């Protein structure tokens, strides 16, 4: 029997300013609670939504204040599908996994943790472009 | 939407506690650095980073914390962490912070073990 909220979706448009990702985090938390996601995975969901939104603001939209970031979430077949879109060239997929020992020894800069956390916490991650050429990071978390 | 962190310093049982109020993001850098430098000038060998249990810590904040850890390593200081939620204990373990700092379940536990 399908989940009563199967095929439901929400979408949020955010100003391109660090800090506004918290609105997307709060929305994702509310949506996930309605769907019955575990408390631990809700926290994971909030983190990946935040990190993807921050990446979109800083790297995709290049911190331009005249741009926006769109976060959409769709629940389908027991999976929460999240898409984070910017108005720029998108974010780099191939950021190397940060090596904390090299960073602490000041051999590498302290970067890459956002993408690392997305990869570690999401069940699926994909960096893509829509048919209109809009850059999108797609993530999924299963119930 | 810049954060302002109030960080109180207190010494108990030879451990300097950095009581970090608020969320920890890239904007926390000047506050954490200033607090660490103040702790360092006191000649402390043991520092406990105490966070708000409800604190939001993003990748920018993690990067700042790791930069502080780098300084503590240079200065041969022992670092403990307490007050973070189970979620961020998991995150800190994932990114490897636990290679350089022990996470304690409570302030009392930290002080007992670090003293």
Residues of chain A contacting B85 with CB distance shorter than 8 Å:
43
Please count the other Cβ atoms lying within 10 Å of the Cβ belonging to residue A34: 13
For residue A3, is it within any domain? no
pLDDT-wise least confident of A15-24, A29-38, A115-124, A127-136: A127-136
Q: What is the mean pLDDT of residues A61-69?
A: 94
B67 in contact with chain A, both atoms CB, cutoff 8 A: yes
Portion 65-104 of A in contact with B at CB < 8 A: 98, 100-101, 103-104
B94 in contact with chain A, both atoms CB, cutoff 8 A: yes
pLDDT score for B2: 62
For residue A68, is it within any domain? yes
For residue B1, is it within any domain? no
Check residue B28 and report its DSSP letter.
G
Q: What is the mean pLDDT of residues B68-92?
A: 96
Residues near A122 by Cβ (< 8 Å), separated by ≥ 6?
A44, A48, A139, A140, A141
Q: Which of B26, B58, B86 sits opposite A50 (nearest CB)?
A: B58
Can you tell me the distance from the alpha carbon of B24 to that of B21, in angstroms, rounded to the nearest whole number? 9
Between strands A68-76 and A124-129, the pairing is: unpaired
- Helix (H, G, I), strand (E, B), or coil: what is residue A47? helix
For residue A49, is it within any domain? yes
Residue A22 near residue A30 (C-beta atoms within 8 A): no
Q: Using one digit for the tens of pLDDT, what is the confidence trace for B87-114?
A: 999 999 999 999 999 999 999 999 999 9
- Looking up residue A18, the CATH number of its domain turns out to be 3.30.565.10
**Taking Cα atoms as reference points, which of B109, B45, B115 lies closest to residue B83?**
B109
Chain pair A-B, CB pairs under 8 angstroms = 65
Q: Which of B26, B27, B100 sits opposite A104 (nearest CB)?
A: B100
Residues of chain A contacting B62 with CB distance shorter than 8 Å:
110, 113
B9 in contact with chain A, both atoms CB, cutoff 8 A: no
Q: What is the mean pLDDT of residues B2-30?
A: 91
Check residue A97 and report its DSSP letter.
P
For residue A116, is it within any domain? yes
Q: What is the mean pLDDT of residues B8-31?
A: 94
Residues of chain A contacting B63 with CB distance shorter than 8 Å:
110-111, 113
Is the pLDDT assigned to residue A34 strictly greater than 80? yes
Between strands B78-82 and B102-104, the pairing is: parallel
pTM of the full structure: 0.93
Q: Using one digit for the tens of pLDDT, what is the confidence trace for A74-124?
A: 999 999 999 999 998 766 656 789 999 999 999 999 999 999 999 999 999
Between strands A79-85 and A135-142, the pairing is: antiparallel
- Helix (H, G, I), strand (E, B), or coil: what is residue A122? coil
Sheet holding A79-85, edge to edge: A9-15, A68-76, A79-85, A135-142, A124-129
* Nearest chain A residue (CA) to B73: A104
Range of the domain at A50: 9-142
- Helix (H, G, I), strand (E, B), or coil: what is residue A127? strand
Residue B115 near residue B15 (C-beta atoms within 8 A): yes
* Nearest chain B residue (CA) to A113: B59
Residue B66: pLDDT band by 50, 70, 90 thresholds? very high
User: Mean pLDDT for chain B?
Assistant: 94
The number of folded domains in chain A is 1
Q: How far from the centroid of its chain's Cα atoms is residue B76's Cα?
A: 15
For residue A55, is it within any domain? yes
For residue B2, is it within any domain? no
Range of the domain at B68: 7-114
- Looking up residue B54, the CATH number of its domain turns out to be 3.30.750.24
Can you tell me the distance from the alpha carbon of B19 to that of B8, in angstroms, rounded to the nearest whole number? 5
The number of folded domains in chain B is 1
For residue B90, is it within any domain? yes
For residue A4, is it within any domain? no
Can you tell me the distance from the alpha carbon of B48 to that of A109, in angstroms, rounded to the nearest whole number? 24
Is the pLDDT assigned to residue B25 strictly greater than 70? yes
> What's the ipTM?
0.91
For residue A13, is it within any domain? yes
For residue A1, is it within any domain? no
Any bridge partners for residue A81, and if so which? A74, A140
Q: What is the mean pLDDT of residues A51-64?
A: 93
Any bridge partners for residue A127, and if so which? A137
Residue A71 has phi, psi (to 5 degrees) of -120, 120
Comparing B1 with A100, which gets the higher pLDDT? A100
């Amino acid at each position: 029997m399908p989940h009563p909220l199967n095929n439901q979706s929400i979408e949020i448009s955010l100003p391109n300013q660090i800090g506004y990702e918290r609105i997307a985090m709060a929305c994702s938390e509310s949506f996930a609670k309605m769907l019955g996601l575990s408390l631990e995975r809700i926290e994971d969901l909030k983190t990946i939504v935040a990190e993807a939104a921050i990446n979109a603001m800083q790297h995709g939209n290049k911190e331009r204040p005249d741009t926006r970031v769109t976060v959409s979430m769709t629940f389908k077949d027991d999976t929460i599908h999240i898409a984070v879109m910017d108005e720029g060239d998108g974010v780099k997929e191939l950021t190397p996994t940060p090596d904390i020992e090299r960073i602490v020894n000041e051999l590498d800069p302290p970067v890459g943790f956002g993408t690392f956390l997305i990869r570690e916490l999401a069940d699926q991650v994909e960096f893509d472009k829509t048919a209109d050429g809009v850059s999108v990071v797609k993530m999924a978390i299963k119930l | 939407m810049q954060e302002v962190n109030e960080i109180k310093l207190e010494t108990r049982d030879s451990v300097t506690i950095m009581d970090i109020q608020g969320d920890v993001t890239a904007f926390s850098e000047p506050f954490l650095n200033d607090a660490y430098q103040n702790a360092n000038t006191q000649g402390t060998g043991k520092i406990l980073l105490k966070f708000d249990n409800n604190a939001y810590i993003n990748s920018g904040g993690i990067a700042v914390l790791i930069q502080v850890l780098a300084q503590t390593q240079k200065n041969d200081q022992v670092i403990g962490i307490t007050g973070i939620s189970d979620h961020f204990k998991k995150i800190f373990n994932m990114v490897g912070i636990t290679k350089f700092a022990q996470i304690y379940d409570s302030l009392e536990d930290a002080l007992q073990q670090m003293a």
